[in-house]
Amino acid sequence: MDFKEAAKLGSCLSKDYAEDLFRLLATYESISASEAGSRVNIHIKTTQDFLEDLYGLGILDREEVYEGKRPYFRYRLKVKQLSIEINLEPFSQNEPVTDTRLKLKIREKKNIGARFTTSRSNDYISNVVIWTGEGRNRTERKINLSMPQGKFLFHLPFPTAEPLSISEIMKNAEIDEVNIPEIIDIVNVLIEFGVIESP
C-alpha cells in the first residue's frame, strides 16, 4: 500500500461511523448505500462516498443491480482483515550524496532578514525564522532544527565571510557523516528561501 492509499484508508477508519458501517458489511451478504446509511443514520451521499473509497482501495466488491429501471450498487467485503503496511524507503535519500554536493561552498546571504535563534547553551541554532510575502500578506515561517542541523548552521559563515564547503562546515561543527542527508535537506530548504547562497 502506498502512502496515498494508506492516508485514504486512515481517513475512512477515522470516521465516527466507520465501525458501524464495517459491522454491517461484515454482517450482510451485500448492502446498498441507502440501506447502510439508513441503518447507521447518516446521509446516503456520505455512505456512498465511504463505500466507494473502500471499493477503490480493493476492500469491497460491488455489483450493479436494478430496481425497476434505476441502477444502484450493492457492496460486499472482499477481505476479513485489514492491515496497513507502508514502505517508507522511497522517502529516504535515494541517491548517494556526491562529493560535488559536499564541496558546494555556501554562506549566509546578506540582508535576507532571517532570524537565527541560538540555543541557551549558545553552541547551536535551535530554529530559523523566515518571512515570506509582501506587505499585509507577509507571513512568518519558523523552521525548528535537529541538533546536527543546528550545529551546522551555528558554523555557517556570515555574509561577509568567505564561503565554506558543506563538508568543511560539517567538520568544523563535528557532525557525523550519518547526518549528511538531513544537512543537505536543510541547506536545500534555506537556499530555496534565499537564506543561504552559493556565490
117-160 per-position pLDDT tens digit? 998 888 999 999 998 877 778 888 899 999 999 999 999 999 99
| pLDDT value of position 93 | 58
Domains and CATH numbers, the chain: 3-77 (1.10.10.10), 97-197 (no CATH)
| pLDDT value of position 85 | 84
Question: Quick one: which of 185, 116, 114, 120 has its CA closest to 148?
Answer: 185
Residue type for 78, please? K
Positions of the chain with pLDDT under 50: none
Structure pTM?
A: 0.62
